[in-house]
């Protein structure tokens, strides 16, 4: 009996699968066992046709393929290649110990890329579970960006067999970084960015306070809520934030590409953080993940390391808004089903926007609000106090005025964010200011005696919770970084207090 390693996706992560093939003297048959789903069961016909295309005679024996462990559900057409290799090399003495093989077979023996292949290999590489990998040539451009891999790209099944039959003639590729983007290097680690700003803050006239709040939110990954009349620029500001977000590491770029691959999108490997904008009619399962049998990913997990934007946030169902409290606080969400329990990471910047009332004219100086007090209270009650407590920055935006002019550009804002990013890393922080835990807050957000007295007065006056105190300190730390202050100054703390929801 021979075996070769492959893998399958289990939620976000890949699990190694041993593909075993046994040949028994019995009536000729071909069976695949080990909780193989339809896409794998159908591979029998593809494998037979591909083997016949290279003039291989299928053995007149009972061929049994086992996918181990047998209690793990497996799916994907990428199992075609390892099964075909094991059958074709049944009488050989080759060892497959260090190899893993992935690829869908065409009826003529050609190897094809699959939508999950990149995500599987990336997941295995992050856990150091893969060294040598055989893949279709179509997959080389993506897979070669994963570092520390020995890649054997093949056009068809015959080339894959040559890896073992004629190893001296086979060309391999050693993967590594190949990103043609500018970067900064901190502690021998590269962080990539782009100088392209398809949506620029210079296009927004006026709204200086919104631009300032957007800058602070981006620099420290702080959750932000925009409130204002329709057309004042809430959504415009939110849609420009992804382009001024901090630089990203290669690991984060690959993680984003992995999420794109899982979702069926073609990865672009650009150093721009993902922005997810679900509509308020989206179901709870589509936002948090779920499914009747397998737990699938949702918008909150797809926004990991990026942005989750809720426009018209009071229109989202109360159950969805209250369910946001866990991912915003613990940076993870647990999806439990009868068959599976999967934990997803949810460390994102949460942006929300809302009108001040149902008709939107409550703050307007020109239009009359037609909402009753009861309607306004019912509208605002959609956002509970515990949820608002998790918002770092609350900003009330005014109406656009004829005298408003463009001011700061996205390029200038990104330069400030980049400098704050460098300051955070030089302090030895492993996280953005907005995601610091209690111990890190004590270490990096310490106040002197006079500033502590200001904060104590604010705690009494505004009845700040412990979470609100921590949020204020983290925002003050980001403002200090933007102003190039080594320690939090009085004006940094006072500005941070202005952004608390009252």
Helices 208-220, 410-426: axis angle to 10 degrees equals 30
- CATH 3.30.230.10 in the chain: give the residue spans: 2-174
Contacts for 133 with CB less than 8 Å, ≥ 6 apart: 99, 100, 101, 102, 121, 143, 149, 150, 151, 152
Domain 186-402 falls under CATH 3.30.990.10: no
By CB atoms closer than 10 A (0-12, 13-18, 19+), residue 338 is exposed
Do the strands 150-154 and 132-136 form a parallel or antiparallel pair, or are they unpaired?
parallel
In angstroms, the CA 359 to CA 368 distance is 9
Worst-scoring range by mean pLDDT, 157-171, 216-230, 365-379? Answer: 157-171
Q: What is the average per-residue pLDDT within 274-288?
A: 93
Instruction: State percent of the chain over pLDDT 70.
Output: 97
99-125 pLDDT per residue, tens: 999 999 999 999 999 988 999 999 999
* Complete DSSP assignment for 370-411: ---HHHHHHHHTTS-HHHHTT-SEEEEE----TT------HH
* Residues 379/360, Cβ–Cβ less than 8 Å: no
DSSP for residue 231: T
Q: What is the average per-residue pLDDT within 438-461?
A: 94
pLDDT of residue 389: 93
pLDDT band at 34 (very low <50, low <70, confident <90, very high): very high
For residue 96, pLDDT beyond 80: no
Helices 449-462, 466-482: axis angle to 10 degrees equals 130
pLDDT of residue 177: 61
For residue 336, pLDDT beyond 80: no
pLDDT of residue 369: 93
Secondary structure (3-state) at 249 = strand
Helices 43-53, 157-165: axis angle to 10 degrees equals 70
pLDDT band at 175 (very low <50, low <70, confident <90, very high): confident
pLDDT band at 343 (very low <50, low <70, confident <90, very high): confident
DSSP for residue 22: E
pLDDT of residue 265: 82
Nearest to 113 by CA among 122, 121, 104: 104
* Residues 447/455, Cβ–Cβ less than 8 Å: yes
Q: What pTM was estimated for this model as a whole?
A: 0.88
* Residues 346/301, Cβ–Cβ less than 8 Å: yes
**How much is the mean pLDDT over the chain?**
91
CA distances 215 to 221, 436, 469, Å, are 10, 18, 21
Fold category of 2-174 in CATH: Ribosomal Protein S5; domain 2 (3.30.230)
CA distances 264 to 104, 261, 314, 486, Å, are 16, 5, 31, 45
For residue 502, pLDDT beyond 80: no
For residue 342, pLDDT beyond 90: no
Worst-scoring range by mean pLDDT, 231-240, 331-340, 391-400? Answer: 331-340
For residue 349, pLDDT beyond 90: yes
Q: What is the average per-residue pLDDT within 10-16?
A: 86
pLDDT of residue 488: 96
For residue 295, pLDDT beyond 70: no
352-400 pLDDT per residue, tens: 999 999 999 998 888 899 999 999 999 999 999 999 999 999 999 988 8
- CATH 3.40.50.300 in the chain: give the residue spans: 186-402
Worst-scoring range by mean pLDDT, 81-95, 410-424, 433-447? Answer: 81-95
Which residues share a beta bridge with 184? Answer: 191
Q: What is the average per-residue pLDDT within 146-167?
A: 91
pLDDT band at 172 (very low <50, low <70, confident <90, very high): confident
């Amino acid at each position: 009996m021979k075996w070769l390693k492959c893998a399958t996706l289990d939620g976000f992560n890949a699990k190694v699968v041993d593909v075993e093939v046994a040949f028994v003297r019995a009536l000729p048959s071909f069976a695949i066992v080990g909780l193989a789903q339809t896409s794998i069961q159908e591979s029998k016909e593809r494998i037979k046709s591909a083997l016949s295309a290279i003039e291989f005679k299928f053995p007149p024996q009972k061929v049994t393929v086992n996918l181990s462990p047998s209690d793990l559900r497996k799916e994907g057409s990428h199992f075609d290649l390892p099964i075909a290799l094991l059958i074709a090399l049944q009488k050989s003495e080759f060892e497959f110990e260090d190899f893993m093989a992935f690829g869908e077979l065409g009826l003529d023996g050609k190897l094809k890329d699959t939508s999950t292949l990149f995500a599987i290999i990336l997941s295995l590489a992050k856990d150091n579970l893969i060294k040598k990998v055989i893949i279709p040539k179509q997959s080389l451009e993506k897979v070669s960006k994963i570092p520390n891999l020995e890649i054997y790209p093949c056009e068809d099944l015959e080339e894959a067999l040559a890896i073992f039959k004629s190893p001296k003639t086979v060309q391999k590729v050693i993967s590594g970084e190949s990103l043609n983007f500018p970067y900064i290097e901190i502690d021998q680690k590269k962080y990539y960015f782009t100088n392209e700003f398809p949506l620029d803050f210079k296009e927004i006239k006026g709204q200086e306070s919104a631009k300032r709040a957007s800058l602070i939110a981006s620099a420290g990954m702080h959750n932000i809520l925009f409130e204002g009349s329709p057309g004042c620029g809430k959504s415009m500001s939110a849609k420009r934030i992804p382009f001024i977000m901090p630089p990203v590491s290669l690991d984060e770029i690959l993680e984003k590409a992995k999420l794109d691959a899982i979702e069926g999108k073609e990865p672009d490997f650009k150093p721009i953080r993902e922005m997810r904008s679900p509509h308020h009619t989206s179901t709870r399962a589509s936002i948090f993940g779920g499914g009747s049998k397998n737990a699938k990913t949702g918008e909150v997990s797809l926004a990991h390391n990026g942005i989750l934007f809720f426009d018209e946030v009071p229109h989202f169902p109360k159950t969805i808004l209250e369910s946001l409290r866990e991912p915003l606080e613990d940076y993870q969400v647990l999806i439990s089903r009868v068959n599976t329990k999967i934990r997803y990471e949810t460390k994102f910047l949460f942006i929300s926007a809302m009108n001040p009332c149902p008709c939107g004219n409550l703050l307007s100086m020109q239009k009359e609000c037609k909402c009753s007090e009861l309607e306004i209270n019912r509208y605002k009650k959609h956002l509970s106090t515990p949820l608002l407590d998790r918002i770092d920055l609350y900003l009330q935006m005014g109406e656009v005025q004829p005298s408003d002019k463009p001011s700061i550009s996205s390029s200038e804002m990104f330069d400030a964010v980049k400098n704050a990013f460098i300051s955070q890393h030089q302090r030895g922080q492993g996280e953005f200011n907005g995601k610091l835990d209690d111990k890190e807050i004590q270490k990096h957000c310490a106040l002197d005696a006079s500033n502590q007295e200001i904060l104590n007065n604010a705690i009494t006056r505004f009845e700040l919770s412990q979470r609100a105190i921590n949020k204020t300190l983290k925002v003050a730390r980001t403002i200090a970084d933007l102003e190039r202050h080594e320690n939090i100054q009085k004006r940094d703390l006072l500005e941070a207090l202005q952004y608390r929801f009252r």
